[in-house]
């Protein structure tokens, strides 16, 4: 099992980034696909028709999102921790995900960068 950690920058406030990541309608806009998401601890969610599924563990408005993402029945829980920090240009987002199966790591992290965070960055790009 591997851990992935990366920082991303967004030209928006931490509160705006948080809302984009926790409101179903916003998630659908930046993913371009159906999303099932309820901003509630314990609620399960699904993005991209089930490509990413999990459960909310902790939600701290504008500051932190902690989720469990499912990789399969027989793997250890994969915990995603997203911390939002205000900076001069908007928001610095710290993403940490633990227990990514080794055989999925390269493809999964490439998808995170291109689709998950790429879509979110496109959502906030200034015209």
Rounded (5°) CA angle 38-43-45: 65
Q: What is the mean pLDDT of the chain?
A: 91
Quick one: pLDDT at residue 127? Answer: 44
| CA 68 – CA 66 distance, rounded (Å) | 7
pTM for the predicted model, two decimal places: 0.91
pLDDT digits (tens, 9 = 90+) for 46-88: 988 788 899 999 999 999 999 999 876 666 789 999 999 999 9
Quick one: pLDDT at residue 79? Answer: 94
- Domains of the chain, start order: 2-124 (3.30.530.20)
């Amino acid at each position: 099992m591997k851990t992935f950690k990366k920082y991303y920058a967004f030209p928006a406030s931490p509160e705006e980034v948080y809302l984009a990541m926790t409101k179903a309608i916003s998630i659908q806009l930046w993913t371009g696909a159906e999303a099932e998401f309820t901003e509630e601890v314990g609620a399960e969610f699904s993005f991209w028709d089930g490509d990413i599924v999990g459960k909310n563990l902790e939600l701290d408005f504008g500051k932190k999102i902690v989720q469990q993402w499912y990789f399969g029945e027989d793997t250890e829980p994969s915990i995603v921790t997203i911390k939002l920090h205000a900076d001069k240009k908007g928001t610095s987002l710290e993403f940490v995900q633990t227990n990514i199966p080794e055989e999925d790591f390269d493809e999964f992290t490439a998808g995170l960068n291109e689709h998950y965070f790429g879509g979110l960055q496109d959502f906030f790009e200034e015209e």
